[in-house]
Chains A and B, each alone.
Chain A
Amino acid sequence: MSICIAYPTAPRLTSRRYLIDNYDKGHKLLPADKHLRSRTQVFIHAAEGTFMLHGLAILYARWQFPRDAAQQHPEILNELEEKLSVNVQKDFDWLEQELGQSTGQFLVGNQVTAADIMVQFSIEFLLERGLGTKGKSWPKINAWNARCKATETFKAAAQKTGHTLNP
């Protein structure tokens, strides 16, 4: 009965850290080493809190900017996008620099970790939609992105789900 009182069951449980907590006993996605683990966690959170945040600000501006104003004064939206792009440019420069410092093929070492899984989608999405990238190219990011997409596991996931950013 004590269990019942201490932990009332919610109708729907949600969990943070689900797959790693429950199925990554071999520390494949989140390394066991303290330093590598915290480096991985930086990228896991940067995927949404840095890259997607700054990129989606531009996407939402495009979607929500009043249509009449955009037709009459397109320079306003252009200026807005130009200013919002500063953050994205900094983010990509940072990632380029981090990839230069990585000792392996991927963001944390020579194996795919949760860092690559999280950040790859953000990078692919921002480049594909041209959100703040201003047509610029980052050679190390491009090479890493291609390596991610060439892994057997990514190819299997893409094939099983039919994933594409341009349906």
Chain B
Amino acid sequence: MQPHPPAIHPSERGAGSSALPRPPAPILKYRVASKHRELGSFASKLPYDARAIDDRQKSRRTPAMTRLSNLAYHSKYHDTRKAMPDITLFFLQASRAIRPAWALQELGLDYQIEFSERQDKVKAAPPEFKQKSGNPLGKFPTLKDGDLLVHESGAIVE
């Protein structure tokens, strides 16, 4: 994953920014966790939108800050360990669920499978499996990433 940091687009290049490529966006879990530490334990109980926080931070970022964070990213002290996503794919046999499974393989992501056969091999999904997935329509595939549930194979893949 993320073998090369993306090159800086000319429009994003601040005045006097260094020639180093911009590091990839930090992984969501880390970003959220660090924001929570800043705000204290009370804030961690509040609803939030991680992307909104990121946009706010971006608007405040000066070229000097960008240069500093780029240097930090490329230094030998940068921690390159990645937080492996906690992904579970609810997989109903003979269904569209093969699409996200193949996409996950293509992206080189690790994932768990919650597998179920159909009732009588060819009919609908067993009710307990529908309930377990948490999908209100009882349809598969359903993908769970941490606390987040995503339905519809098209939406999961895209």
For B105, the chain A residues whose CB sits under 8 A away are 153-154, 156-157, 160
Asked if A157 meets B94 with Cβ closer than 8 Å, knowing A4-B47, A23-B85, A25-B24, the reply is: no
From A19, A23, A165, contact of B1 by CB (8 A): A23
Measured in the bound complex, the distance between the Cα atoms of B154 and A147 in whole Å is: 21
Asked if A7 meets B113 with Cβ closer than 8 Å, knowing A17-B158, A114-B158, A161-B91, the reply is: no
Interface string of A148-167 (1 = CB under 8 A from B): 00000110111011111111
From A13, A18, A26, A158, contact of B2 by CB (8 A): A26
Of the candidate stretches B64-72, B73-81, B115-123, the one touching chain A is: B115-123
For A8, the chain B residues whose CB sits under 8 A away are 47
From B96, B115, B134, B143, contact of A12 by CB (8 A): B134
Q: Is B157 an interface residue (CB 8 A)?
A: yes
User: Which interface residue of B3, B4, B85, B94 has the most chain A CB atoms within 10 A?
Assistant: B94
A121–B98 contact, CB under 8 A?
yes
Measured in the bound complex, the distance between the Cα atoms of B93 and A21 in whole Å is: 26
A14–B97 contact, CB under 8 A?
no
Q: Is A73 an interface residue (CB 8 A)?
A: no
From B1, B48, B94, B103, contact of A164 by CB (8 A): B94
Asked if A114 meets B157 with Cβ closer than 8 Å, knowing A3-B49, A3-B52, the reply is: yes
B119 nearest CB across to chain A (Å):
11
For A118, the chain B residues whose CB sits under 8 A away are 99, 153-154, 157
Measured in the bound complex, the distance between the Cα atoms of B102 and A162 in whole Å is: 12
For B125, the chain A residues whose CB sits under 8 A away are none
Q: Is A9 an interface residue (CB 8 A)?
A: yes
For A158, the chain B residues whose CB sits under 8 A away are 98, 101
A18–B158 contact, CB under 8 A?
yes
For B99, the chain A residues whose CB sits under 8 A away are 117-118, 121
User: Which interface residue of A118, A160, A161 has the most chain B CB atoms within 10 A?
Assistant: A161
Name the CB-closest residue of A to B109.
A23
For A134, the chain B residues whose CB sits under 8 A away are none
Measured in the bound complex, the distance between the Cα atoms of B94 and A13 in whole Å is: 27
For A21, the chain B residues whose CB sits under 8 A away are 158
Measured in the bound complex, the distance between the Cα atoms of B147 and A13 in whole Å is: 9
A18–B143 contact, CB under 8 A?
yes
B1–A3 contact, CB under 8 A?
no
Measured in the bound complex, the distance between the Cα atoms of B99 and A47 in whole Å is: 11
Q: Is A48 an interface residue (CB 8 A)?
A: yes
A47–B154 contact, CB under 8 A?
yes
Q: Is A15 an interface residue (CB 8 A)?
A: yes
A/B interface sample: 15 pairs, CB < 8 A: A3-B52, A13-B148, A13-B149, A17-B158, A19-B156, A19-B158, A25-B1, A25-B2, A25-B6, A44-B157, A45-B154, A154-B105, A160-B101, A163-B91, A164-B94
B residues near A, CB below 8 A? 1-4, 6, 24-25, 28, 46-49, 52-53, 85, 89, 91, 93-94, 96-107, 109, 113, 115, 117-118, 121-122, 134, 143, 145, 148-151, 153-158
